[in-house]
Amino acid sequence: MNIEHKEKEIWYLDSGCSHHIIGDRSSFETLDEEFPSHVELGDNKRVEIKGRGDVAIHSNEGNKKCIHNVFYSPNIGQSLLSVGQMMKKGYKLIFDNAQYKIYNMKTNQKVAVVKMSSNNICPFNMKSLHNVAMRSEHIDDSQLLHLRYKHLNFNGLQLL
């Protein structure tokens, strides 16, 4: 891993990870330390889990989002997002053209696009998250004229 990616807000998408996991205790908003467990890494090494909780993510605009049920292990150097957990929470992930796209399946809205770095990993900078319009509507011209002419009835609008 390049040193350029070692930041607190950087998470890595991991398809082999069964749960979201982070090694920085100060990132937790709530932490249940009565949750002792272990996870097995890809090299068959077992890592102790010291708790589970919610991690608050703050965007550049100051918006706060939470990632729930994140495991805490002081032996983990990077923050990992589990593909399986994201799918269970209603997100669709598409890998294409050296990037991945995350969609909210309920709204079919694109949440993020993350490009692959030079060392073939996809660092997801949580600070880059921003609010987007959740709803927009189109008012047709007749409705707009109705409002502009102080609620003139539609027969009157046709006459005009």
Query: pLDDT, tens digit, for every residue of 55-78?
Result: 887 655 566 778 888 999 998 888
Domain total of the chain: 1
Report if residue 150 sits inside a domain: no
Domain of residue 22 covers 3-130
Report if residue 140 sits inside a domain: no
- Tell me, yes or no, if the pTM score tops 0.85: no
pLDDT band at residue 132 using 50, 70 and 90 as cut-offs: very low
Query: Using alpha carbons only, what angle is made at residue 117 by residues 52 and 111, rounded to the nearest 5 degrees?
Result: 55
Contacts of 47 (CB under 8 A, 6+ apart): 38, 39, 40, 41, 73, 75, 76
- 3-state DSSP assignment of residue 144: helix
Query: pLDDT, tens digit, for every residue of 85-94?
Result: 989 989 898 8
- 3-state DSSP assignment of residue 140: coil
CATH number at residue 59: 2.40.70
Report if residue 156 sits inside a domain: no
Cα–Cα distance measured from residue 144 to residue 64, given in angstroms and rounded to the nearest whole number: 37
